[in-house]
Structure 1
Amino acid sequence: MTTTTRSGVTLRALEWTDIDTLAELEVVLFADDAWTAPTWWAELAARPRRDYVAAVDESGALLGYAGLDLAGDVADIMTIATAPAAQGRGIGRVLLEELVRRATERGAEALLLEVRADNAPARALYDRSGFEVISTRRRYYQPGDVDALVMRRHLGRDHG
C-alpha cells in the first residue's frame, strides 16, 4: 500500500532495502538505544504481526518510519522516528495517525507506547493525540537513568 498525504509525504511499507538507511538513522536519532541492522531484519521478518511504515519524499528519501506490534486487542507502538532534516514538518503526526488507523483496522481496542520522559517533542505529540501516561518505568533508559513513560490511547467508536 502506498498513500500520499496532504503534506506531500508518501507512506509505504518499509522494505528490506531500507535496512541500511534505517540502521544509520537509528544511530543519529537514538545513539545508545539504536536498533541495529540485524534487529531490523528480525523486525521485518515478523510481519504480519509487526507492521512497519515509511514516510518518503518525492525522490524516495526516507523522512521517517514507524511500526506496530499487532497482537490481540492491544497494539504496541514499537518505534516512531523522523529524520533530523525532516523534523518539525508534521511527519511524526502523519506516521502516528497511520499507526492509529492500522491498529484500529486490525481490531485493537487500545494502543500502548513507551517514551523517554525527557523527549518533550514526542510527549507533546502523544498528549495532543489522546495518549495518557499510565505508568513510569524508573531509570529504564541506560546510560543516563532516564525514566520511560508508558502511555495508552483507547481506540474505537467511543474513544476515537
Structure 2
Amino acid sequence: MRWWDIDPVLCLEKDLFPQDAWSRGMFWSELAHSRGPGATRRYVVAEETGGTGETGQAQETAEAGRILGYAGLTASGDLGDVQTIAVARDHQGTGLGARLLTDLLRAATAFECHEVMLECRVDNLPAQKLYERFGFEPVGFRRGYYQPGNVDALVMRLTDPSASVQGTEING
C-alpha cells in the first residue's frame, strides 16, 4: 500500500466497516512505519488488473486499477498482529482474503515473528473459517471490542506463521 492508495482504501473501508472505519490519519500513521530499515508494518493492496477481473500485487504508480482488498500487519519483537484484512463485497469468497493473509504471514516470518495474533468479530464466521484454515486457534474474547454495537471480538493466535504458508503461492 502506498499513499495514493489511501483514498480508494478508505472508500472500501467505509463500505465494509461503516460503524468503525479507520480514518485517513490512521492509514497514514501505519504507512509511516512500513518503509525503511526500521519498518514494523506491512500493508498491501490487491487490485484489479487488465480489466479482466484478475488481481495482482499493487502497482507502484498512481495509475493502479480498482482496489479489491487490503491488509495490514504490525510486528513488535517476536509477535505479529493482523491489524486489518478487507475484501470488496463482489470478491468475497474468491480466495483473495487467503492471498492477503498469506502475504501478511510471509511478512510476519520476515519480521521473525514466532506467533501472530488477531481479533475477529464473533459474528464474522467466514473470517473465522479462513483464519482456522491457516492454523489460527481461538484463545479468548474481548468483550464489547467493536463499537458501536458492543460486539465481542474473538482473539485468535497462530504459532509458527512460517509453517502455515509453506508451499503457498501469493499470485496463484
Q: Which residue of 2 aligns with 1:57?
A: 48
Aligned partners of 2:21 and 2:141: how far apart in 1? Answer: 21
Which residue type is aligned with residue 20 of structure 2?
D
**Secondary structure at 1:149 match in 2:** strand
Aligned to 2:27: 40
Partner of 2:59: none
Q: Name the structure 2 match of 1:67.
A: 72
Q: Distance in 2 between matches of 1:41 and 1:156?
A: 27
The sequence identity of aligned pairs, in percent, is 48
Q: Which of 10, 15, 35 in structure 1 is aligned with 2:2?
A: 15
CA contact (8 A) 2:106 2:161 kept: no
1:42 deviation in Å? 1.2
Rounded to whole Å, the distance in 2 between the matches of 1:88 and 1:132 is: 21
Paired position in structure 2 for 1:5: none
Is 1:104 the counterpart of 2:118? The answer is no
Aligned to 1:147: 152
Q: TM-score, normalised by structure 2?
A: 0.80
With the length of structure 1 as denominator, give the TM-score of the two structures.
Answer: 0.86
CA distance in 1, matches of 2:49, 2:161: 33
Q: Which one is further off, 113-122 or 137-146?
A: 137-146
**Candidates 14, 18, 26, aligned match of 1:27:** 14
Per-residue deviation at 1:134?
0.7
Per-residue CA distance 1:104-123 (angstroms, 9 max, x = gap): 12211001001110111101
2 CA distance for matches of 1:86 and 1:156?
A: 25
Q: Which residues of structure 2 form unaligned runs of 5+?
A: 51-64, 165-172
Deviation track 1:104-154 (CA, whole Å, cap 9, x = no partner) reads: 122110010011101111011011110001110112212212111110000
* In structure 1, C-alpha distance between the alignment counterparts of 2:3 and 2:75, rounded to whole Å: 20
Matched pairs, number? 146
Q: Which runs of 5+ in 1 are unaligned?
A: 1-13
Q: Secondary structure at the match of 1:54?
A: strand
Backbone CA RMSD of aligned residues: 1.3
